[in-house]
Amino acid sequence: MVSFAFIFHLLGFGLITTSLAAGWILERRIRTTNDWNQKLLLLSASRSIGLLSPIASLLMLITGIVNIINVFGTSPRVLFSVGWLDAKIILFAFMLVNGAVFGPILSRKRTKLIQSLAAQSAPADAEETVNIYGKNISTFYFVQSLLLLIILFLSVWGTGKHVGMM
């Protein structure tokens, strides 16, 4: 029998995967579009999709804790003896901090520059800076996706029983 927390955990994973994939696709489209107003439109869509990430992360965090309690109880001794689970927790925490800090900072700075380019009030090197921000955001999506794939790998091939099983 699978717990409801496990089902919601899978739903959260799907939301995170969707937001990363859609964000990466929109990022590629933003970088290939030449019209600044169209870029602003794509950025607003990207921002809307990016709002899935905090919801999905919170869902994953809460259901992950419930799943751990379902399998290991409340004893911290048992929890810290399962290496793959500890690695997952550390990587997920790193992914959350990385997503909460660097993603919004890069996105805001680039959006501000693109708005000034659309209004034709940008500094001389603004286009080059926008390209640099685009590369940084692509790297951000790559790192987040890599972390998520490692977490998935640890989940599927971890040595213990799957945390959704009761």
Strand partners, 2: 165
Segment 35-77, tens digit of pLDDT: 999 999 999 999 999 888 999 999 999 998 888 888 777 777 7
pLDDT for the residue numbered 159:
64
Name the phi and psi angles at 2, rounded to 5.
-100, 140
Please give the pLDDT value at position 1: 47
pLDDT at 85: 82
Average pLDDT over every residue of 122-132: 91
Interatomic CA distance for residues 142 and 139, integer angstroms: 5
pLDDT of residue 166: 39
Domain range list for the chain: 4-157
